[in-house]
Structure 1
Amino acid sequence: MINKKEMVNKTIADVTGGKEVVAAMLGMTVDSFNNHLYEKKGSRFFSVDELVEMADLNKTPFAAEYFADRIGCMVVERPQAAELDSVDMFDCHLQLNAIKGLLDKTIAEAKADGVFDACERKAITQLKQEYQATFEAFMLKLETLYTA
């Protein structure tokens, strides 16, 4: 799980002009932006509206992922209908099956000694989340491709 400062830094990383451009867009100086980011000089962290503005600037999912992760949810990108075809669906289905196979293998290996240690639990959790996100993306693509 990333912290809120990492989330902001990832969100602005690909913005041409970086922090200066984002600060200006929010009507702040770079110093004021940094004060908000690091909660210095009595400044509060960015508001949700400010985080949304940053995410909108370069269409990044990091703010959504940050909040979703905090409540045990996940973010899945919506497919673009124009980009979908049966080959894409086949590739997505292969990817889904590959992740499922790796998850099954990891679980089988972890339960061999009768106990899941912290490292095994972490690996299983990561693969489970990847599988769930890939499954959800597959279903969204399926619905998008075959909805009249």
Structure 2
Amino acid sequence: MDTIRISYQSMCKAMPGGWPVMAAALGMSKDALENRVYERKGQSVSVHEALQMQAFSGTTLFAEAVAAEACGVFIPLPDVAAVDDEEIQRVYMELVDEVGRLAREWREATRDGEVDKRERQRLEAIRDAICTKVTQMNHLTFQVFCRS
């Protein structure tokens, strides 16, 4: 749950004007917001408030934290206002690059028979990038090539 609390804190910091402006946008005092974020006096941030905080801060931090708590990864879908085959090809080539990077990093990380913390973080970051690119590529493909 620390991940989710950190997302609340980060969204408040990302909000132009910080905590006071976030509290005002939510219709509460800064103290009331802090009580919810830090779960003082039996209070907590509701899912609705967290989603509002995310929208106000212009981030996806709450969604990312929930996904991480569920041992998953949040993948934002691209805006598909004006997409064509060329854009899909660009995303596909980025995916191919990421898979190549994974192969190189995996070989290096496992060369000594042990994956340390830093190597694991790099491999996980590449995994997340690959998942994101596959999802984005499919989303764009479906928008362009599937009938409504």
Give the TM-score range, shorter chain.
0.7 to 0.9
Give the deviation of 1:79 after TM superposition: 2.5
Spell out, residue by residue over 1:66-104, the C-alpha distance to the aligned partner (whole angstroms, 9 max, x if none). 001111122222232213222322221121111111111
Spell out, residue by residue over 1:37-84, the C-alpha distance to the aligned partner (whole angstroms, 9 max, x if none). 2333x1423111210121233442111110011111222222322132
- The secondary structure found in structure 2 opposite 1:95 is helix
Aligned AA (2:19):
K
Q: Does 1:11 align with 2:11?
A: yes
Aligned AA (1:46):
V
TM-score, length-normalised on structure 2?
0.83
Identical aligned pairs, as a percentage? 23
Q: Residue 30 of structure 1 corresponds to which residue in structure 2? A: 30
Contact 1:2–1:66 (CA<8 Å) still a contact in 2?
no
* Count of aligned residue pairs for this structure pair: 147
Contact 2:88–2:141 (CA<8 Å) still a contact in 1?
yes
Structure 1 unmatched ranges of 5 or more: none
Map 1:1-148; keep pairs closer than 5 Å.
3-40=3-40, 42-148=41-147
Distance 2:2 2:95 in 1: 25
Distance 1:134 1:2 in 2: 28
TM-score, length-normalised on structure 1?
0.83
Contact 2:7–2:65 (CA<8 Å) still a contact in 1?
yes
Segment drifting more, 83-92 vs 61-70: 83-92
Aligned AA (2:72):
C
Distance 2:112 2:18 in 1: 50
